[in-house]
Amino acid sequence: MLLEKIDKPIEAIQAKKPNHDHTQTKAVLNRLSKATGHLESIRKMVESGRDCSEVLIQLSAVKAAINNTGKIILKDHIDHCIVAAVEKGDQKALDDLHKAIDQFMK
């Protein structure tokens, strides 16, 4: 399960506030809202006994949407957070990025 893969509780992740602006926040939030709505529709499909093939196709679409959202976040993070971290010589930020990429690619 996805939550089992998270090393830190959600509260700890949410408490970590960036000291910079992300340019894609609105786009990311919009994409996440759409994926959430899509996932809710899939739940209703399962509840109503829809064909498994249809459910799997829709799950694949949500998975792709989440992956594409992750790519936007990653690019925004590199463009803003990592560039600033490199300029400051912040090795921890690079290490954290490597860990995040490893986790995202699983």
DSSP string, 56-77: HHHHHHHHHHHHHHHHHHHHHI
Mean of per-residue pLDDT scores for the chain: 86
Q: pTM value?
A: 0.72
Q: Which CATH number fits domain 23-105: 2.40.50.40, 1.20.58.1000, 3.40.50.300, 3.90.1150.150?
A: 1.20.58.1000
Mean pLDDT of 24-40: 96
Torsion angle in degrees (nearest 10) through CA of 58, 61, 65, 68 = 160
Structure confidence by residue, pLDDT tens digits, 41-67: 999 999 999 999 999 999 999 999 999
**Segment 57-83 mean pLDDT:** 94
